[in-house]
């Protein structure tokens, strides 16, 4: 029950930080395992175990401290989560995290769950490379493991480019996905309990720049009710198919076809997600509170969006001017606007492309919020595509 346990989290980034805040608000003590002494989550947790994720002594210390354990990013070694699960409840499990760590396993799971994904081929050997169907070109070659925020991906138009790209990626196991006629991107965040109870947040419409999430809008302005219902249903199927316990984000592409718009699953994250950060300020229960609830077997309530919103990602580029000199963004002018909620992650230093925080803008209508978001973009020098 709230206030009577210590909750552990593997990983000390901003997602862990927001989980820790949510757990502490409900009266729990927290313990973070992360090797970085200045990790955002470690700085605010009751306890910080400073070891590598697979370190036996570190895992033992976390087991000693925590009554139940979760993870804040998918690249925590699945073997470490399995080891923790021998002594403590762990959600999500090492087995489902392992699926999310491997694009080939992830695609196979989508198919097993009855959810469409982009046509693809697994490339692990020169023979598989040579056997790639012509129909998959042009495509995107992605490393099967350790790819996120657009990393480990190369667009290829011809077989010659495919061969060169695989060599450039070090001939590691890869997945080649057919390039689709993208109409827009959306995501669905679900929470599933050990008893099979399932709830979801509203569909989120997303805009990425250079592979990194830039803007999320809720309600999704260009998504029909029927498509939103389908996306929520598919995300639930994906979670149920692998017996998932925890918070799961499924990202989808909406693609153009001759018969109209079609939904295809892109990837999933076994944790709260950047596109769900708005839930802290725009919903009556956040994705992080639901992460706490799934970990502690508390009742899951269907989240309610009480305010239309726009979430803007804040990357480290904002902390530098055109000449590369460090500066402080004009937060005073931004916070003078109605409905602005600033979240900075406590990272020690800024660098281009690094996620430093986010802004959630709330208001009475999406049109009002979008107008405020455009003003914020002007003040901070952010691009306004996707909002006009």
* Residue 103 located in a structural domain: no
Q: Is 24 annotated as a binding residue?
A: no
Strand bridging mode 139-143 / 153-156: antiparallel
> Average of pLDDT values for 369-377?
98
345 is in an annotated binding site: no
Q: Residue 99 falls within a domain, yes or no?
A: no
75 is in an annotated binding site: no
Do the annotations mark residue 193 as ligand-binding?
A: no
289 is in an annotated binding site: no
Domain-located, residue 14: yes
| 178 belongs to an annotated ligand binding site | yes
Give me the pLDDT at residue 211, please. 86
CATH of the domain at 297: 3.30.470.20
Q: Is 112 domain-assigned?
A: no
The answer to whether 185 is a known ligand-binding residue is yes
Please say if the pLDDT value at position 44 is more than 80.
yes
User: Could you tell me if residue 288 is inside a domain?
Assistant: yes
Q: Is 96 within the bounds of a domain?
A: no
In a shared domain, residues 291 and 194: yes
Q: Are residues 15 and 151 in the same domain?
A: no
Entry pTM: 0.95
| CATH at residue 51 | 3.40.50.20
Task: Determine how β-strand 6-10 pairs with β-strand 29-33.
Answer: parallel
Q: For residue 388, what pLDDT is reported?
A: 77
Residue 351's CB is within 10 A of a number of other CB atoms, namely 12
Domain enclosing residue 157, as ranges: 119-178
Q: Is 147 annotated as a binding residue?
A: yes
One domain, residues 159 and 69: no
Q: Tell me if 107 is assigned to a ligand binding site.
A: no
Q: Which of 132, 162, 178 is the last residue of a domain?
A: 178
Is 206 assigned a ligand-binding role in the annotation?
A: no
- Same domain membership, residue 173 and residue 199: no
51, 75, 90: which is the final residue of a domain?
A: 90
Distance of alpha carbon 264 from alpha carbon 140, whole angstroms:
15
End-to-end CA distance of the chain: 46
205 and 266 inside one domain: yes
Say whether pLDDT at 109 is over 70.
yes
Tens-digit pLDDT profile for residues 276-310: 999 999 999 999 999 999 999 999 999 999 999 99
pLDDT band at residue 150 under the 50/70/90 scheme: low
User: Do 167 and 194 belong to one domain?
Assistant: no
298-357 per-position pLDDT tens digit = 999 999 999 999 999 999 999 999 898 999 999 999 999 999 999 999 998 999 999 999
Predicted confidence (pLDDT) at residue 149 exceeds the cutoff of 70: no
Q: Name the token pair of 326.
A: 């460090």
């Amino acid at each position: 029950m709230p206030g009577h346990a210590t909750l552990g989290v593997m990983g000390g980034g901003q997602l862990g930080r927001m989980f820790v805040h949510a757990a502490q608000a409900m009266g729990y003590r927290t313990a973070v395992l992360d090797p970085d002494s200045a990790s955002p989550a470690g700085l605010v947790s009751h306890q910080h175990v400073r070891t590598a994720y697979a370190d036996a002594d570190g895992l033992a210390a976390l087991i000693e401290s925590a009554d139940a354990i979760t993870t804040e990013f998918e690249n925590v070694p699945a073997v470490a989560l399995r080891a923790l699960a021998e002594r403590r409840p762990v959600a999500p499990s090492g087995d489902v995290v392992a699926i999310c760590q491997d694009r080939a396993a992830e695609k196979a799971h989508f198919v097993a769950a009855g959810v469409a994904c982009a046509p693809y081929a697994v490339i692990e050997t020169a023979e598989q490379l040579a056997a790639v169907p012509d129909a998959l070109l042009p495509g995107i070659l992605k490393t099967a493991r350790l790819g996120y925020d657009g990393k480990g991906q190369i667009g290829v138009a011809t077989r010659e480019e495919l061969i060169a790209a695989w060599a450039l990626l070090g001939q590691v196991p890869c997945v080649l996905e057919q390039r689709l006629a993208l109409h827009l991107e959306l995501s669905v965040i679900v929470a599933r309990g050990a008893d099979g109870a399932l709830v979801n947040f509203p569909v989120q419409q997303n805009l990425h720049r250079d592979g990194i999430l830039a803007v999320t809008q809720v309600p999704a302005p260009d998504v029909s009710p029927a498509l939103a219902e389908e996306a929520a249903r598919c995300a639930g199927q994906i979670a149920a198919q692998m017996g998932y316990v925890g918070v799961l984000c499924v990202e989808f592409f909406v693609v153009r076809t001759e018969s109209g718009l079609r939904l295809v699953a892109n990837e999933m994250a076994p944790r709260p997600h950047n596109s769900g950060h708005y839930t802290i300020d725009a919903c009556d229960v956040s994705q992080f509170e639901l992460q706490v609830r799934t970990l502690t077997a508390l009742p899951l309530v269907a989240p309610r969006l009480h305010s239309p919103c726009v979430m803007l990602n804040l990357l480290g580029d904002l902390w530098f001017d055109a000449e590369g000199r460090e500066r402080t963004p004009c937060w005073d002018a931004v916070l003078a606007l109605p409905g602005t909620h600033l979240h900075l992650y406590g990272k020690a230093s800024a660098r281009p492309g690094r996620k430093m925080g986010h802004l959630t803008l709330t208001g009475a209508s999406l049109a009002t919020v979008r107008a405020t978001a455009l003003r914020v973009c002007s003040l901070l020098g952010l691009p306004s595509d996707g909002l006009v």
